[in-house]
Structure formats: C-alpha cells, structure tokens
Amino acid sequence: MEEENKPLIIIECPHCHVQVIPTADNLCPSCREDIYNKQDINSRQVVLMVQESEKLPPYCYSCSAPTDRYVRTSADEESGLETLIFGEKSPESTSNVIVYLPECELCSDSEIELVEVDYENQTMKIMVDIRFQERVLQFRES
C-alpha cells in the first residue's frame, strides 16, 4: 500500500463536525461520510409531518441543537371554499394549521421550508434536519 506516504491531515468533518483524519477513500472515520462532498449536507434534510399543536422536543428543527425557543408557524388557507363545501365547522377546527416549531437563534434567519399543508387533517409537512426527525420519532414513542 502506498497510502502511508500520504501526509496525515486533520480536518473537521463537515458532516459530523468531529476533528478527523480522513481515510484513504476520503471518508470520515467517525460518520463514514465523504469528507469532500459537502453537497449532500443539504440532503440530510428530510420531510417531517407534524400535527397542529403537536408538542415537539426542545431541539432546533433545522440543526438539531438544543433550544427552548419556539416559533409560531402557521399556514393559512386563503379561500373559504372548504367551509362552503363541508358546511359548518366547529370553532376549534379553523382552516389554518399552527405549529410551534423549535428553532435555535442561529437558524432564526433561515426560512422554514413548508412542503405541504393538509387542512383537512390539520397537518403540515416541513423540511427538517434528519437528527431532529429522529428525536421527534423517539419523542412520539415515549
């Protein structure tokens, strides 16, 4: 193996932020991600479906850092069309979907990426960090 002649470099893995010496294939020994491929960092965003007023764990939806800051996220349906079709609605079943999303201060400038809103079931789908999704799934089970 010629690999031994390579100079050892310690870099911060862009994926797991651990100081590592990349493997011969330029993989992070800690998380096995490609050290030089920063492209897929955004692809670690996944779609999460949340119910209106669902309690979410105190971690930033966008970077998974612990936070106790919650932002009100609402999706409004513009027309009153649904009310006309489905008739009367109870006062609680408003057409807008409101979710209190944990978001750390660092991420407060970034836009929440809304994928889809289901007014009938009062749910919304948003893009979240994959680690946040894991925490939410654990949180729901507990």
Contact 120, 77 (CB under 8 A): no
Query: Is 15 a binder of Zn ion (CB under 5 A)?
Result: yes
| Contact status: 101 vs Zn ion (CB under 5 A) | no
Min dist. Cβ of residue 125 to Zn ion (A): 19
Residue from 21, 40, 37, 38 nearest 29 by CA = 21
Number of residues that bind Zn ion (CB under 5 A): 12
114 forms part of the interface with Zn ion (CB under 5 A): no
Which stretch in 62-70, 85-93, 113-121, 130-138 sits in contact with Zn ion by CB under 5 A?
A: 62-70
User: Rounded to an integer, what is the distance from CA 19 to the centroid of its chain?
Assistant: 24
Burial letters 89-109, b for 16+ CB under 10 A, else e? eeeeeebebebbbbbbeebee
What span, in angstroms and rounded, lies between the C-alpha atoms of 96 and 116?
Answer: 13
Among 62, 95, 122, 133, binds Zn ion (CB under 5 A): 62
**Contact with Zn ion (CB under 5 A) among 46, 49, 63, 127:** 63
Residues near Zn ion (CB under 5 A) are 13, 15-16, 28, 30-31, 60, 62-63, 65, 104, 107
